[in-house]
């Protein structure tokens, strides 16, 4: 019984550390992607703005960045959470 309790405490600590690191990483990645997009738009020649509608440019900053900020972290989190959980479940079953 003590072994199972120790495994649960270990999982809780791991999940807390994972959540903190994940949030910090996602925030850094989102900021980096937004800054790169802004830099590429600001360095574009005037001809780019003549051929590309304002709506398409604004769409890149709103809808596409929103998808990157919401969907990608959610899917990545689900996948990264399942791997350690699977390893720990196999360890519990084996011992």
* Cα 59 from Cα 78, distance rounded (Å): 27
- pLDDT per residue as tens digits for the range 18-47: 889 888 988 898 889 889 989 999 999 999
Number of structural domains (the chain) is: 1
Please give the DSSP secondary-structure letter assigned to residue 50: H
| Burial track 18-43 (b if 16+ CB lie within 10 A, e otherwise) | eeeeeeeebeeebeeeeeebeeeeee
Query: Whole-model pTM above 0.75?
Result: no
Residue 48 lies in domain: 2-94
Check residue 87 and give its pLDDT.
Answer: 87
Residue 14: the pLDDT is 86
**Residue 64: predicted pLDDT:** 80
Q: What is the pLDDT of residue 79?
A: 81
Alpha carbon 20 to chain centroid, angstroms: 12
- The percent of residues in the chain predicted with pLDDT above 90, rounded, is 21
């Amino acid at each position: 019984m003590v072994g199972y309790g120790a495994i649960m405490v270990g999982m809780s600590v791991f999940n807390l550390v994972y959540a903190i690191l994940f949030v910090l990483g996602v925030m850094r990645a989102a900021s980096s992607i937004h800054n790169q997009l802004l830099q590429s738009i600001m360095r574009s020649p005037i001809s780019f703005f003549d051929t590309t509608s304002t709506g398409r440019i604004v769409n890149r900053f709103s809808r596409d960045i929103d998808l990157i900020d919401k969907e990608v972290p959610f899917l990545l989190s689900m996948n990264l959470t399942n791997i350690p959980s699977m390893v720990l479940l196999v360890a519990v079953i084996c011992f």
